[in-house]
Chain A
Amino acid sequence: MRRAALLLIALLPGLAAAGGDLNPPNPFLEVPGAKLRSALPLAGDEAVPVQPFQLQRHPVTNAEFLAFVTAHPRWRRGAVPAALAGEDYLSQWAGPLDPGAHAPAAQPVTRVSWFAAEAYCDAEHARLPDWYEWELAAAASPTVRDARADPAWRQQILDWYAHPGGKGLAAVEGDSASVYGLHDLHGLVWEWVRDFNSLLPPGADPEKFCGATALNARQKEDYAVLMRIALLSSLRAADTGRLLGFRCARDGGGAS
């Protein structure tokens, strides 16, 4: 029943849209497995095997999240326990079931806690992507699977960092799709990952403080992604952020 209701709303994106702003469908797209040379510092030079997985085409939008809280009252603003979502949870929305003028339908939903993002994906029979999955997908440009050594591509990512975040968000899918068909992995919002809090386990050796950051020759290529790791590591699971959204993933290779 609940699934049917969700499906119905998902099939009628125009109805949920504010200001006639159409919300494009958000299918799960296949990303083939690969060996990833991760940007995680101290990960070493050994490539990490990543199994095939599926990732949603764009970050979850206000319209999509509205459908979710409509079907799941306990995730509405005001109903969620503070332990699961901070007081600024969906605070940019006009009401618990009304995104309002400042949160158009096709914009990524932000100010969503990790718990809420997990719950959303669970309702989609999905999960949040792991960091390595996200990183693998985000390494792709419109033309190649690993564009991280391309200075022009890197600079495009950095241009987003180079402007203050006070302005309004753009709608999803304003960029060119990557080789996987995915949109907005850069240049729009930060995104939660499932293992955001274990990218940097506590109890590290302080002697490595400077060496690990400054002497890592790869950092030049990777620092755009490093900043994402830094952002994720500064968060707790109930936190939200004005520029922090998410998208869901599923195991791939036909095992859905």
Chain B
Amino acid sequence: MKHPMRSTLAVAWLLCAAGAASAAPAAGKPTPAAPGDFGPPRGEVIHAILTSPPMVPPPIHRDHPAKVIVELEVREVEKEISEGVSYTFWTFGGTTPGSFIRVRQGDTVEFHLKNHPDNKMPHNIDLHGVTGPGGGAASSFTAPGHESQFTFKALNQGIYVYHCATAPVGMHIANGMYGLMLVEPPEGMKPVDHEYYVMQGDFYTVGKYRERGHQDFDMQRAIDERPTYVLFNGSEGSLVGEHALKAKVGDEVRLFVGNGGPNLVSSFHVIGAIFDRVRYEGGLHEQENVQTTLIPSGGAAIVEFHVRVPGSYVLVDHSIFRAFNKGALAILKADGAEDKTIYSGKEVDSVYLGDKAANLAAVSEARAAEASGTLTKEQQIKAGQSRFTGTCSVCHQGNGAGLAGVFPPLAGSDFLMADKQRAIGIVLNGLTGKVTVNGSEFNSVMPPMSQLNDDELANILTFVRNSWGNSGDAVSADEVRKTRAATKRPEGAAH
């Protein structure tokens, strides 16, 4: 034949699968039934209900092992990773994280992986809940326009990550190819009021955080483990504002929390809540009264807590710069009656972030208006207020009054209103050293806010120059742009 088979290379590099090594059983020695093997499937064949995040398929009320068919389709899709920033996600089921799979321990799962014909890449799947070489990866390597099938028995209960394991594995994961599979114990799980699906991932783009337009994957940043974004459910806006998780006071909430990585370990925390129970590492054991639980890359946990007072609870990776500067932030909004004996309602975190979540609509509106050339000062003020809250209000306070002797006031500030150009420069480049505001001397440091966009800064400045007794003209994005262009600063300052 004319096809030289001269290659001495190995197939192995293609499929990087955890737990791939499997020793052959010693001949002649009978293998005892695995603890989670409840015999052959019985009853009707079941087509698994798959859900997109943050939803979780309904609990399984079944007293026998069944044959369950799972059909998962891989789609390569362009989606918003942050406001005005698009990214090409490679997905299991059209979303990042991928569809949630729920089966019962002992079920026989017939898995169909479909790679849509419009996709460019081959893909496969490694399910951490599968016992067998590669977790299915070697059996599911699928070209675009093709489908693979393999079958496994779900022997171990728990919450398990699945992910693509096609080379370059890190890139497939970084592009969003991961999700969770829950293997319920035979007796089922304790009923709760809400179950939600949240999964963290780190993303690496060529452009900087929130740099507009389509952003491509940056392999060098991924190798260096310097993510541009750290996100819950694949987008900065996925779980805030109208998309916030919902609950009522008195509810018990169960979160299935995964971490797809590819690189970072998550210090998962909910601001304002203490987890009653955590099934850490997704295993059998529970820890109680947990403030922050560690979720490894390629790992998951089940956390449960009671919502005792109303308000916005903020889910963060408590490696906290990721939350405030890379997007690892989500909201659970609880409605219901106040209980002042438990909580007075004045704690700073929950208030300012709650407002931030609620007011993002004003920011979008201003952006649209600016694009169409119809931006009004009033729209700028509204949009500026929501950005002020959560960024500037930390020091200058929500009412612009500052803190005596530490943070200068913006309300009725002679210093602010005296020189518009100077104000733009200070917000962009920071300010260190003595200033006198309304007759009082301040000597501290304001960091540069150059990570914010020109229009964001223009809106913030317009807001502060027209609030709390201040009255001035609008600051345009163009003015900010000019000041920014005239300033030299180190790459990535204030990030």
Q: Which residues of A contact B (CB under 8 A)?
A: 40-43, 88, 127, 130, 151, 155, 158-166, 190, 194-195, 197-210, 212-214, 216, 219-220, 223, 226-227, 229-231, 233-235, 239-243
Contact = CB atoms under 8 A, between A and B. Distances in A.
A138 B429 CA distance: 46
B328 interface: no
B120 A40 contact: no
B216 A242 contact: no
Contacts of B340: none
Given A42-B10, A230-B166, A209 B16 contact: yes
A201 B10 contact: yes
Given A194-B3, A199-B7, A206-B21, A223 B168 contact: yes
A162 B79 CA distance: 12
B223 interface: yes
Given A198-B5, A227-B121, 17 more contacts: A41-B167, A88-B117, A155-B216, A158-B219, A165-B118, A195-B6, A197-B3, A201-B8, A205-B12, A209-B12, A209-B16, A209-B17, A212-B12, A213-B16, A220-B220, A223-B167, A241-B145
A204 B167 CA distance: 15
Contact of A223 (B11, B76, B171): B171
Interface of B: 2-17, 20-22, 76-78, 88, 117-122, 133-134, 141-146, 166-171, 206, 214, 216-217, 219-220, 223
Give the residue among B2, B7, B134 with the most A Cβ atoms within 10 A. B7
Contacts of A233: 11, 14, 122, 141
B14 A200 contact: yes
A246 to B, nearest CB: 15
A226 B167 contact: yes
Given A155-B206, A195-B7, A208 B146 contact: no
A15 to B, nearest CB: 31
Contacts of A229: 14, 167
A127 B1 CA distance: 13
Given A158-B216, A205-B10, A239-B146, A165 B120 contact: yes
Q: Which 5 A-B residue pairings sit nearest by Cβ, starting from the closest?
A: A204-B10, A234-B122, A212-B13, A234-B143, A41-B13
A161 B145 contact: no
Contacts of A241: 117, 143-145
23 contacts: A41-B13, A41-B167, A42-B12, A130-B4, A151-B220, A158-B219, A161-B121, A163-B88, A164-B76, A165-B118, A165-B144, A195-B7, A199-B7, A200-B7, A205-B12, A209-B13, A213-B168, A227-B121, A227-B168, A234-B142, A235-B143, A239-B143, A239-B146
Contacts, number: 162
B143 A127 contact: no
Contacts of A213: 13-14, 16, 167-169
Contact of A242 (B9, B12, B142, B145): B145
Contacts of B9: 40-43, 199-201
Contact of A158 (B4, B21, B76, B217): B217
Contacts of A197: 3
Contacts of A159: 216
A203 B214 CA distance: 41
A162 B216 contact: yes
A161 B90 CA distance: 11
Nearest to A197: B3
Contacts of B117: 88, 241-242
Contact of B12 (A163, A165, A204, A231): A204
Contacts of B216: 155, 158-159, 162
B11 A200 contact: yes
Contact of A208 (B4, B13, B144, B214): B13
Contacts of B22: 206
B14 A206 contact: no
Contacts of A41: 9-10, 13, 167
Contacts of A203: 11
Contacts of B146: 234, 239
A214 B122 contact: no
Contacts of B7: 40, 195, 198-201
Contacts of B88: 162-164
B12 A164 contact: no
Contacts of A214: 16, 169-170
A243 to B, nearest CB: 6
B15 A209 contact: yes
A165 B119 contact: yes
A135 to B, nearest CB: 13
B121 A231 contact: yes
Contacts of B10: 41-42, 200-201, 204-205, 208, 212
A74 to B, nearest CB: 20
Given A207-B21, A214-B169, A243-B120, A195 B5 contact: yes
A155 B215 CA distance: 12
A223 B143 CA distance: 18
Contacts of A230: 14, 121-122, 166-167
Contact of B120 (A161, A206, A235): A161
B13 A198 contact: no
A16 to B, nearest CB: 26
A166 B144 CA distance: 12
Nearest to B170: A214
A208 B76 CA distance: 29
B14 A127 contact: no
A163 B5 contact: no
Contacts of B20: 206, 209-210
Given A162-B216, A164-B119, A231 B2 contact: no
A219 B146 CA distance: 27
B11 A202 contact: yes
Contacts of A42: 9-10, 12-13
B122 A231 contact: yes
Nearest to B118: A166
Contacts of A205: 10, 12
Contacts of B119: 164-165
Contact of A234 (B13, B21, B134, B141): B141
Nearest to B21: A206
Contacts of B8: 201
B247 to A, nearest CB: 36
